[in-house]
Amino acid sequence: MKQFVSLLAALIFAALPIHGAGAAAKNPPSKAKIAKAKAGKAKAGAPKPPVKGPKARRALAAAAAVAAVTAVSTIDYDGEQINFSQWQAVQEFVDEMVLKHGFDRAALEAQMRQVRFVESAVQLVKPAPPGKPKNWQAYSERFIEPIRINAGLRFWNENAAALARAEATYGVPAEIIVGIIGVETIYGRDTGRFRVLDTLTTLAFAYPEAPNKAARSVFFRAELENALLLARHENIDPFTLLGSFAGAVGMPQFMPGNILKYGVDFDGDGHIDLRGSTSDAIGSVANFLVEHGWKPSDTGPHAIPVDVAAHRAWELLLERGLTASLRPDELAAAGVVAPVALPSDRLYGLVDLQNGAEATEYWVANDNFFAITKYNRSYFYAMSVIDLGRAVRETRATQGL
């Protein structure tokens, strides 16, 4: 899944409408335009006068996000025509696909000659520049807002039967599924404009220099293999697969490997279609969560706000990874104070939601919260999924639904 998708990418796909892709494909931006956009972005990053108050700071953060999206709105989705089939590493990949999976060599080599190098994917996969403080409130306000809530309301109403069936089958509440699909793609509106074969090939064989380059190259090479297997299994042209800059596909933004592992034919038509079938998307999200630790028996709050003691002994509890591994008595001994008594037979993790210059929020979270982080390894992401789903549910309740 877009499990490693950057904040910048989220901004891009949340802000750019899916229509208009045809025009962009016919008229890709020139290098001069891209350079001009980058220059404008650099200029926009010049020091600004200090802003007072949390609301003003959040407004400034939102404005900066819009400016960032505008600066990269000339992004080249089409890429550059090069002959990947001449690369030694690609030739070895073709050899492996022929031997391991029985692909036709001539056909696969022909496909590799059609693949494009996408510099935009190389740039977008790079980590965000260091130094900018995290801000949960600014992040949350991008997702818990009227457009997404109203779209979620329509999605829930139109797919109520499939959501209820998924909840009954997997034990994942409808609101969590609704929250994930809403955060990911605004219910299918923004599923990505890159040809998956282009971006995966680019990142598999031309990943940018980074400490984790070797590992990421291996990952994307495997996902390229999975994309070709998926296309063959579903009998579709692999070049018709469109997705994010990192190769995530469909309404729930699954990587090809996760479609093969966790995708569900929830509408029973004999195909797993996360692009066109809302039922398949719903069932697949629920199945993914269960396979990554969702516990249907844990029906309590997924996260509970807490206070923390001034002695800061609890700081050591923040380094436990994305898992619930702490007993309530361990939390209390370290100075974590919950507003209600936590069940002694449950495990929790301590979560910090940083708010820039404002006070950090602290929460204790259960296994189900951390199951959501397996979808995207971020506390911000998991909390926004929970909050968006809750907001849509509450809106439905006001309408008697």
Strand partners, 358: 355
Cα separation, 350 vs 319, whole angstroms: 9
pLDDT number for residue 132 = 77
Q: How many domains does one find in the chain?
A: 1
- Residue 237 counted as domain residue: yes
What is the chain's pLDDT, residue by residue, as a tens digit (401 residues)? 444 344 444 434 433 333 332 322 323 333 343 343 344 434 334 343 444 454 454 444 444 444 444 444 579 999 999 999 999 999 999 999 999 999 999 999 999 999 999 999 999 999 878 777 899 999 999 999 999 999 999 999 999 999 999 999 999 999 999 999 999 999 999 999 999 999 999 999 999 999 999 999 999 999 999 999 999 999 999 999 999 999 999 999 999 999 999 999 999 999 999 999 999 999 999 999 999 999 999 988 999 999 999 999 999 999 889 999 999 999 999 999 999 999 999 999 999 999 999 999 999 999 999 999 999 999 999 999 999 999 999 999 999 88
Residue 335 lies in a domain: no
Is residue 61, in this structure, part of any structural domain at all? no
At 99 the pLDDT is 98
Separation between Cα atoms, residue 158 and residue 124, nearest integer Å: 34
Nearest to 123 by CA among 181, 43, 68: 68
Q: Domain with 161 in it: what CATH number?
A: 1.10.530
Order of strands, edge to edge, in the sheet holding 336-337?
A: 336-337, 303-308, 358-365, 349-355
272 lies in some domain: yes
Residue 175 lies in a domain: yes
Domain assignment of residue 29, yes or no: no
Active site residues per annotation: 184
Kindly state the greatest CA–CA separation across the chain: 67
**345 falls within a domain:** no
For residue 220, being part of any structural domain is answered with yes
Yes or no: say if 106 and 94 are a contact pair by the CB < 8 Å rule: no
Instruction: Give φ, ψ of 326 to 5 degrees.
Output: -110, 135
Give the single-character DSSP code of 212: T
CA angle 208, 211, 215 (to 5 degrees): 80
Name residue, tokens 């007072």.
52
- Work out the angle at residue 377's Cα, subtended by the Cα atoms of residues 251 and 11, and round it to the nearest 5 degrees: 55
- What's the first-to-final CA gap in the chain, in angstroms? 31
What pLDDT score does 401 carry? 85
Q: Which domain holds residue 207?
A: 118-295+372-401
Half-sphere exposure of 325 (CA within 13 A, CB side): 8
CA distances from 378 to 46, 123, 229 (A): 29, 21, 29
d(CA 96, CA 103): 9
> Are the C-beta atoms of residues 243 and 199 closer than 8 Å to each other?
yes
Query: Which of 79, 74, 80 minimizes the C-alpha distance to 16?
Result: 74
Phi and psi at 174, nearest 5°, equal -55, -40
CA distance 381 to 6: 11
Contact residues for 303 (Cβ-Cβ < 8 A; gap 6+): 351, 363, 364, 365, 366, 369, 382, 383, 386
